Structure 1
Amino acid sequence: EVYKSGYAFKNKCWFLDWHKQESIDLLESSTNSSELIDLIKQGVPEEYIFENDRKDSNKVVIRGKLPKLKWTDPDLEIHKKSPKTMRDVGVFITWLQDDMVNDITSFRGRNAGGTAMWLACEQGAENVYMMGFDLSVPDKPLSHLYPETTHLPTSAKDNGFDSINWQTQNKKVFRKFPKTNFYWVTKSVEEQLLVDQFSMCKNVTFLTYGDLEVWK
């Protein structure tokens, strides 16, 4: 979706596992590229195939996964249509144009916010402002920027969840770049969850959006 929107042609982006297949016409001497792509599509339901306009491109990125429609444990059937199970389902065939996309080669497989901070620090950022970095705890409704979106589980919205992984990954960034100033911007410091969990991170300061207004 980001690629189709045109954003990646005007702005530098980082995508995970963005492995380019170049000169695809030469990948198999006995099969042309169109037949190769058709072979990849075989057995995949049409509604799970996402492909942009090829134009004259001979570079492509192919990614995706199929939904897990059957579970060996009947008790897990309730997860069949869950956002996590259905997220990014399908075969995504992206024919590349003149874009500004970079593959993420470090801090892989972490949360998006932590990865964004890591990449910014690698490029020499001295001050990082963290906006929209939600945390959560069990049994407390999740305060989320997009509460009605498809990929926000209803259970998380209603009950919250244990965000220990987010906490751990963010702390790793703070420790890796001790000379970088991190400003965690929130609506209210008093209402921000788990502030005490970051008290040992001396390069992290909690601010409010009101504080930023004063700095203008």
Structure 2
Amino acid sequence: MEVMVYGNGESRNKFDKLRFMGNYTTWGCNAIYRDLNVDNLVSVDYAMQQEIYESGYVRDNVCYFTDWSVIPNADDMLLKTMKMDFEPHMIHETLQIDRTDCVIQGKDPKTAERNIAEALDFNPDLDYNDLKLKAEKDTGLYITWVGKDKVKNVEYPREWCAGTTAIHLACQQGATKVYMLGFDLSSYDSPLNNIYKGSNNYLPEYAKGFNPVNWNLQLGAIFGEFKDVEFIWVNPVHTSLDGVRAKFKNVNFLTYEQLYDSIR
């Protein structure tokens, strides 16, 4: 099974997404649903999951969300208890309407504070304001009332980014060749590289990029675990990829022009 996994790096703007729809099983991440229906949509951020759910996309399209555990017949006492530790402005609850089941998720602001302190202790040269912006993103309590949908909980991997989670899930489901588009990685010394930056539930355009160490570790784990899968990394733009070429023989690289020629 050949699949295309869309990351949201800005190089993906070069790709005519509709050109090959229907020929491959497609996987996408987060806000790609705003522009394109993919066969499988992955989101690991609570605010983004809530946005996707409330858009109605989940009714007709398969989605994979992390920490997605439905509470049947949620009662008022439970909700009141969950809300006690959060200021009103930090509680993000969708309209219940006639729904009785919900998903409750949360990101404690105190945890964000600890993460900031630990990061600065480890690397005092980090930009405090940028670090705070990223650490505090999506803090709060998220209560999403749910009905009939096609959402599946991600059992594994956990605490990965959406893009690498999507690749791993595609491999779990039997992919033999994986085209990776828009996986640009990032650099802390460069501006944030994301098609949707500055939009709802994303970091602002002025945010710095991310250190790619976690992405590299996650991708390396995938390439090593699924040795029989051929990975085609399209238009990679990050300098750290030299090590990938040397270490993993199941990873090849193409430009978008070469991709067009190879799959016509």
Category of TM-score, reference length = shorter chain: 0.7 to 0.9
Q: Does 1:129 align with 2:171?
A: no
Candidates 178, 183, 198, aligned match of 2:232: 183
RMSD: 3.0
Give the whole-Å Cα distance in 2 for the aligned partners of 1:144 and 1:57.
Answer: 35
The answer to whether the 8 Å contact 2:189/2:208 transfers is no
The answer to whether the 8 Å contact 2:197/2:203 transfers is no
Residue 165 to residue 153, structure 1, CA distance change in 2 (3 Å): farther
**More moved, 117-126 vs 42-51:** 42-51
Question: Structure 1 residue 95: deviation in Å?
Answer: 1.2
SS in 1 for 2:211: coil
Give the whole-Å Cα distance in 2 for the aligned partners of 1:198 and 1:80.
Answer: 29
Q: Does 1:67 align with 2:109?
A: yes
Aligned to 2:208: 156
Give the whole-Å Cα distance in 1 for the aligned partners of 2:131 and 2:191.
Answer: 22
Deviations 1:185-214 (A, max 9, x none): 11xx6x542221111211111111112222
Please list every run of at least 4 consecutive aligned residues from structure 1 whose deviation after the TM superposition is greater than 6 angstroms. 69-73
Q: Does 1:169 align with 2:218?
A: yes
The answer to whether the 8 Å contact 1:135/1:163 transfers is yes
Structure with the larger RCO, 1 or 2 (CA within 8 Å, 6+ apart)? 2
Aligned to 1:211: 258
Seq. identity, %: 35
Q: Does 1:195 align with 2:241?
A: yes
List alignment gaps of at least 5 residues for structure 1: 25-32
Aligned to 1:7: 57
Question: Structure 1 residue 98: deviation in Å?
Answer: 0.5
SS in 1 for 2:109: coil
SS in 2 for 1:64: strand
Give the whole-Å Cα distance in 1 for the aligned partners of 2:208 and 2:103.
Answer: 32
Q: TM-score, normalised by structure 2?
A: 0.66
List alignment gaps of at least 5 residues for structure 2: 1-50, 122-126
SS in 2 for 1:82: helix
Give the whole-Å Cα distance in 2 for the aligned partners of 1:138 and 1:17.
Answer: 28
